[in-house]
Amino acid sequence: MSEISSEYNANSVGDSAAMTVILQVAVPVPLTTLFDYLPPLDAAPVEWTPGIRLLVPFGRRQLVGMLMGVIAHSEQALARLKRVDAVLDEQPLLAAVDLTLLGWAAAYYQHPIGEAIFTALPPHLRKKSLKSPQPPFSKGEEKPVDQSPPAPLFQRGEKEKPPVDKSPQPPFPKGEEEEKPPFEKGGLGGFKAGFELNPEQITAINAIQAAFGRFQPFLLDGVTGSGKTEVYIQLIAQVIASGQQALVIVPEIGLTPQLQTRFTSRLPGVTVVLHSALKASDRARNWEQAALGTATLVLGTRSAIFVPLPRLALIVVDEEHDAALKQQDGFRYSARDVAVRRAQLVACPIILGSATPALETLHNAQRERYHWLQLPRRAGAAQPPKFSLLDIRRQPLRAGLSTVLRERMQQELSAGNQIMLFLNRRGYAPVLICHSCGWTGKCSCGDPRLTLHLTPPRLWCHHCGRAMPVPRHCPSCKSADLRMLGRGTERLEEELQPLFPEATIARIDSDSTQRRGELKRLLNAVRRGEVQIVLGTQMLAKGHDFPGITLVGILDLDRMFYANDFRAPERTAQLIVQVGGRAGRAERAGQVILQTRQPEHPLLQALLHDGYRGFAAAELRERHEAELPPFAHLALLRADATEELAALEFLREAKRLAAETVESDQIFALGPAPSPLARRVGRHHAQLLVQCGERPQLQRFLQHWRSLLEKLKRTKELHWSMDIDPQDMF
Ligand code: ADP
Ligand code: ZN
């Protein structure tokens, strides 16, 4: 479909039908269609290769668009088509396969194609920069994919695909099996670790190596410290040795500075990192190196999944269970699921690695859609940590710690060991309450959870970021008896010191690590043994390696486990195992003590007795009974408006439209209901949950439904969006 111009423009008529070239352009506007344009009149002979940027008139504006294809006939009358104003690139920024991937992702996540493409590009390429100082593919220079690279170890599958696949396919097709010669030691392009790989690592490497050159997804299910990263490194070394490129996606880079060092120090070639905290110039340069093929390893966060890589031969998604891999606003894609689709499009293996795989991923492995590789033991001498539940009902607590836990801590400290305490709540106290009248703080954004922070003193809304001064007297009854309820990490740190006067305590959370370099400094201090007790939030769960820690205490288990989201038990179990996995990574075995008031809970029992695998089996049974993912597929339709009822009314109308579609008997719409945090920043939010047993059916329905929703009458100030495979239900 093309933009319909109201004016007749005599200049825009093509000269002769035989020579008509119609350019299909993706424009960054909230519409799902491409727009047809005619080439500029004065165009020097240009090759209309998809992937070049064009400057186009759009309404009264001028926008940067992306050429997606060339056709001979438009559905629009030629006379109505406008001309492209200028051609911005000589060489395509994105290859056909990249455009196909983006087209698929835009369709799957129900996001406007132009917006999807332009969020995938680095910021310096989104705007009009006619004479960009460094064009991504410099003039006269061919892409290195065309220079003869070193002979590949393995042949690539057929890789050219037409751009914009309009029918979204489910992202998880099955790969085929095939025998390849086994992995040989020393075949790593000369890069070796200082130890022998264990048999499980060799099996994993052999299996993945045998899939080079074709699509095959792997789940590398290995306990923390089992040597997963070592497996990645050895395989990437092979990819680099064969002159090809590897892509490693991680949930966060800033939190794990060691990881990057480990890759760069062990691997030859050029490693570049890509994440949004980079300086714009570094990001632009790294993106270009990736796109040109000079970077042999790209290590990036979720948006790096779209970076062009002309010789991509292996994708790794590390910590694949991590919710940070899903974009939570705008173009809400899952970098993990897009990665699987990308591997399929370029015909290469993909490794999803985790000690605590997402239930969706485990389910795919159980159904043999993914080849399931297991590293059940810790590498080297390290022993697995021992988990135990500590019933704190009716127990006296000091600083939130039971007597038993305090005694265990004292023993470890006396033995010269380190301790980690996990409390997933920042700030000093989660509630400030008036003891006289019961007043509690509430943010003007509607969030009732104002957290008290003392350094510096303020009441802080963790939801919208507003900070308010701490009142000295109750704003309601003027009483001076304001009390702090509950405990965050700041308070824990303060109360812990008098209990362990000899110990040096470090707190690691997003407040204590605000300053640049502070996280690195704290992590190093812990690793060097300068700290005896480290306490913090889930930042501690992120792949750090603290060999001296022998005891981990988890303090607020119950609150996390019973949060109001069907994924809360899964998330909590993953946190427990990940936090526990930080302990005893060297020779000394670690123990993990979980304080709880519900020690009999079946999911906790499963986790304790059968580990994460046992927990996952029990939780998967519950999901099956409740018809929740991975046994059903979900999509959320969200709406927000300034008027309280407008959002709900829109969703009611949407639900009525859903009931009228062909597949309505397969689709269940629940709601609409106000969102759990219904009123945010002056707007009212509501949502409608859609559930369906089959993914392709849900996809067909959503596509159709979306086109109906786009035509619905609504006020300009009402916003709506879709979230496919939502991770957070609010
Ligand atoms: P994961 O990524 O699964 O947490 P790593 O790859 O980081 O595990 O390995 C944990 C530690 O064990 C690292 O210090 C690593 O160098 C070491 N290691 C890995 N493989 C072996 C092996 N086969 N023998 C001895 N040590 C190993
Ligand atoms: Zn607020």
Fold held by 2-125 = GIY-YIG endonuclease (3.40.1440)
- DSSP letters spanning 396-457: -EETTEEHHHHHHHHHHHHTT-EEEEE----SSBSEEEETTT--B---TTS---EEEEETTE
In this structure, are strands 467-468 and 386-391 parallel, antiparallel, or unpaired? unpaired
193 pLDDT band, cuts 50/70/90, is: low
Domain-by-domain residue ranges, the chain?
Answer: 2-125, 164-169+195-375, 386-429+486-623, 633-724
168 pLDDT above the threshold of 60: no
Q: Which of ligand 1's atoms lies nearest the C-alpha of 196? A: 23
Q: Closest Cα to atom 25, ligand 1: which residue?
A: 380
Summarised one tens digit per residue, pLDDT across range 391-434 is 999 989 999 999 999 999 999 999 999 999 999 888 888 888 88
Q: Which residue has the higher pLDDT, 189 or 97?
A: 97
Q: Which ligand has the shortest distance to the CA of 443?
A: 2
pLDDT at 256: 67
Q: Is the C-beta atom of 356 inside 6 A of ligand 1?
A: no
User: Any idea what DSSP says for residue 664?
Assistant: G
Q: Is the C-beta atom of 224 inside 6 A of ligand 1?
A: yes
Cβ count near 525 (within 10 Å): 14
- Calculate how far, in angstroms, residue 231's C-alpha sits from the geometric centre of ligand 1: 9
585 pLDDT above the threshold of 60: no
Summarised one tens digit per residue, pLDDT across range 478-515 is 999 988 888 899 999 999 999 999 999 999 988 888 88
Residue whose CB lies within 8 A of the most ligand 1 atoms, among 230, 267, 356, for a mutation test: 230
Cβ atoms of 256 and 273 closer than 8 Å? no
- Calculate how far, in angstroms, residue 380's C-alpha sits from the geometric centre of ligand 1: 7
Q: Which ligand has the shortest distance to the CA of 441?
A: 2
CA 257 from centroid of its chain's CA atoms = 18
pLDDT at 675: 78
- Calculate how far, in angstroms, residue 273's C-alpha sits from the geometric centre of ligand 1: 22
pLDDT at 458: 85
167 pLDDT band, cuts 50/70/90, is: very low
- Calculate how far, in angstroms, residue 565's C-alpha sits from the geometric centre of ligand 2: 21
Token pair of 639 as six digits: 């709406």
Q: Which residue has the higher pLDDT, 452 or 181?
A: 452
| Percentage of residues of the chain with pLDDT beyond 70 | 85
Q: Is the C-beta atom of 227 inside 6 A of ligand 1?
A: yes
pLDDT at 50: 95
586 pLDDT above the threshold of 70: no
Cβ atoms of 552 and 590 closer than 8 Å? yes
Q: Closest Cα to atom 4, ligand 1: which residue?
A: 225
- DSSP letters spanning 672-686: EEEEEEEEETTEEEE
User: What phi and psi values does residue 283 have, to the nearest 5 degrees?
Assistant: -65, -45
Q: In which order are the strands placed within the sheet that holds 467-468?
A: 450-454, 457-461, 467-468
Token pair of 687 as six digits: 């949502």
Dist. CA 688–CA 187, nearest whole Å: 54
Q: In which order are the strands placed within the sheet that holds 719-724?
A: 667-680, 683-692, 633-641, 719-724
Bond into 149 cis (ω within 30): no
What is the architecture of the domain spanning 386-429+486-623?
3-Layer(aba) Sandwich (3.40)
Give the three-state DSSP class for 721: strand
pLDDT at 13: 39
- Calculate how far, in angstroms, residue 110's C-alpha sits from the geometric centre of ligand 2: 30
**Buried b vs exposed e over 313-337: b needs ≥16 C-beta within 10 Å?**
bbbbbbbbbbebbbbeeebbbbbbb
- Calculate how far, in angstroms, residue 227's C-alpha sits from the geometric centre of ligand 1: 4
Cβ count near 521 (within 10 Å): 12
Q: Which ligand has the shortest distance to the CA of 449?
A: 2
Torsion angle in degrees (nearest 10) through CA of 545, 551, 556, 558? 110
Q: Which residue has the higher pLDDT, 466 or 501?
A: 501
184 pLDDT band, cuts 50/70/90, is: very low
Q: Closest Cα to atom 20, ligand 1: which residue?
A: 227
Q: Is the C-beta atom of 229 inside 6 A of ligand 1?
A: yes
Cβ atoms of 474 and 482 closer than 8 Å? yes
Give the three-state DSSP class for 167: coil
- CATH number for the region 633-724 comes to 3.30.70.360
Q: Is the C-beta atom of 132 inside 6 A of ligand 1?
A: no
Radius of gyration of the chain (CA): 28
pLDDT at 689: 93
State the number of CA atoms in the 13 A half-sphere of 221 facing the CB: 22
Summarised one tens digit per residue, pLDDT across range 122-148 is 888 887 754 443 444 443 333 333 333
Cβ atoms of 392 and 382 closer than 8 Å? no
C-alpha distances (whole Å) from 429 to each of 450, 452, 453 are: 9, 5, 7
3-state secondary structure 552-572: EEECCHHHHHCCCCCCHHHHH
Q: Which residue has the higher pLDDT, 371 or 446?
A: 371
Fold held by 164-169+195-375 = Rossmann fold (3.40.50)
C-alpha distances (whole Å) from 565 to each of 321, 475, 561, 572, 720 are: 16, 33, 10, 11, 22
User: Any idea what DSSP says for residue 394?
Assistant: T
Q: Which of ligand 1's atoms lies nearest the C-alpha of 231? A: 6
Sign of the CA dihedral running 541, 547, 549, 550: positive
Dist. CA 164–CA 342, nearest whole Å: 14
Summarised one tens digit per residue, pLDDT across range 604-654 is 899 999 999 999 999 999 999 999 999 999 999 999 998 878 999 999 999
Q: Which of ligand 1's atoms lies nearest the C-alpha of 318? A: 2
CA angle 567, 573, 576 (to 5 degrees): 140
Q: Is the C-beta atom of 230 inside 6 A of ligand 1?
A: yes
Contacts of 234 (CB under 8 A, 6+ apart): 188, 193, 197, 205
C-alpha distances (whole Å) from 303 to each of 8, 247, 261, 298, 332 are: 41, 12, 21, 12, 11
pLDDT at 43: 65
- For 470-477, which contacts have Cβ atoms below 8 Å and span 24 or more sequence positions? 470/432, 471/432, 474/434, 474/436, 474/437, 474/439, 475/439, 476/434, 476/437, 476/439, 477/434, 477/436, 477/437, 477/439
- Calculate how far, in angstroms, residue 703's C-alpha sits from the geometric centre of ligand 1: 45
Dist. CA 308–CA 247, nearest whole Å: 10
C-alpha distances (whole Å) from 241 to each of 193, 236, 237 are: 16, 8, 6
Dist. CA 298–CA 295, nearest whole Å: 7
Dist. CA 44–CA 693, nearest whole Å: 53
- Calculate how far, in angstroms, residue 232's C-alpha sits from the geometric centre of ligand 1: 11
Query: What crossing angle do the helices spanning 257-266 and 228-241 adopt, rounded to 10°?
Result: 40
